Amino acid sequence: MLLIPAIDLKDGRCVRLRQGDMNDETVFSDDPVEVALGWVERGARRLHLVDLNGAVAGKPRNEPVIKAILDAVGPRVPVQLGGGIRDLDTIERYLDDGISYVIIGTAAVKNPGFLHDACGAFPGQIIVGLDAKDGKVATDGWSKLTGHDVLDLAKKFEGYGVEAIVYTDIGRDGMLSGVNIEATVRLAREVSVAVIASGGFTGMQDVERLCEVEAEGVSGAILGRALYEGTIDFEAAQRRADELNGPG
């Protein structure tokens, strides 16, 4: 079970939002590079970056700090990035900068042809992000709830050749209310690609519950507010996951 610290970027700073609300932020650091290095030093095997301004604007907004993070940690651990990625040129630029995996969310739902083209152009490096509430997919930084069923879209996108699916329960994200294990497992059972859980991570009990369902196809989890508010210790969490299921 791979535990992945999240670094959410807004106006060049490391923040966390509650349920994706850009006006409900907590600033955890003015130096995201230092934050990234700290997670690597604590044993993180992958980092998860989100350009929050980019997700709303539909174009990259935090590239300078993303490049600085890659310069600092890129050679040591893979980095996955989402937020504001809407065209192949942006993907190519980020991959050239050293990003290992690009996460496509809103654009995948609104323009499936773009996701299909991206998977063909950059095989093994495209992850789709499905953000959902009550089984329906949300877009545009979670500001719009669509009528698309998350399971239907996941199966469709699997056929395009995505490397993995990041599944976020937006009703729980940033709320420290526990991972929606049931919905995550339900999705993982419907597809053969790896599913990465996101949203609501609270503490060690979530690590243990996720490890119990790893065999269902849940390969990892993204940790955000729980890490920054200290409700879970990253090193202890990854060590526990390794004890239960072996290194992720």
30, 34, 36, 38: CA torsion to nearest 10: -130
Mapped onto helix, strand or coil, the DSSP state of residue 201 is coil
Going by their DSSP bridges, the two strands 13-17 and 2-10 should be labelled as antiparallel
Rounded to whole angstroms, how far apart are CA atoms 218 and 115?
22
What tokens were used for 187? 């999705």
Question: For residue 115, what are the contacts with CB-CB under 8 A and spacing of at least 6?
Answer: 104, 107, 108, 126, 128, 157, 160, 162
| Catalytic residue (choose from 51, 131, 169, 173) | 131
Catalytic residue chosen out of the listed positions 8, 51, 169, 173: 8
Identify whether 8 is a catalytic site residue. yes
Helix (DSSP H) and strand (DSSP E) numbers for the chain: 11, 12
Active site residues: 8, 131
